[in-house]
Amino acid sequence: MPTQPDIEAVAEEVFTALADPSRRRILAALAAGGPATATDLASRLPITRQAIAKHLALLAEAGLVAAERGERRRVRYRLRSAPMQVAQQFLAAMARDWDQQLEALKDHLNAVSSARPTRRKESS
């Protein structure tokens, strides 16, 4: 299990990679169709092969895809789930922190509300 700074660094790379809609489309295409080359992806997506190659390089830097050399210098890219799982752990920890803070706020507000004397409405 990566340490907390490592988790944050991996999560940051994943979130940066996922911020671009073209990269999300590429990941979705790989998830749906399995490993593919940049040329294969260009035939399925409204993105040029050159742009896909650049996006794949960024996705590989984030660890979200792995390049596999094949026959005739063809490079196939496949999804890697480990960085996504680290990002999910980061979000789950952040959600727990928020849940704890919101629960403490709720308890405080309930305590303040219960401690206030209630005012009676006077009849006219």
For the chain, the structural domain boundaries read 4-83
| Beta carbons of 33 and 42 less than 8 angstroms apart | no
Cα 59 from Cα 23, distance rounded (Å): 7
The class of domain 4-83 in CATH terms is mainly alpha
Q: How is residue 83 written in tokens?
A: 């960085």
Task: List, for residues 38-80, the tens digit of each pLDDT value.
Answer: 999 999 999 999 999 999 999 999 999 999 998 888 999 999 9
pLDDT value of position 40: 96
Segment of 40-44, 82-86, 90-94, 103-107 carrying the highest mean pLDDT = 40-44
pLDDT value of position 1: 57
pTM above 0.85, yes or no: no
Cα 88 from Cα 17, distance rounded (Å): 14
